[in-house]
Amino acid sequence: MSTSEAFRQDTEPRGSWDDVRDLPPSAKLVAKVLEYNETMTQQQIADETLLPSRTVRYALNRLEDEHVIDSRFSFSDARKRLYSLDIEA
């Protein structure tokens, strides 16, 4: 990771629950599930919420747009991403 990437990630604004308030119900549900479960894959979120994978993917994209979740690649399977909640306390 270059210095500019690290700087950009550190300066991105963190979201808050106020940002989540105006999102669709599926995004709110995904945010709540991530609040109780520290780190999850998209499939784990779909299994936990009983939402279709496409709906979970849409919700994750909306949450990423609001800067309320953090995603990173899984070390065990680089095809998967791990998602965690990143909301200001």
CATH number at residue 30: 1.10.10.10
Q: Which domain holds residue 36?
A: 3-85
pLDDT bin (cut points 50, 70, 90) of residue 23 is very high
pLDDT for 53 beyond 70: yes
| Confidence (pLDDT) at 2 | 47
Q: How many domains does the chain have?
A: 1
40 within 8 A of 48, measured Cβ to Cβ: yes
Alpha-carbon distances of 2 from 11, 13, 15, 17, 87, rounded to whole Å: 14, 19, 24, 31, 25
Is 70 in a helix, a strand, or coil? strand
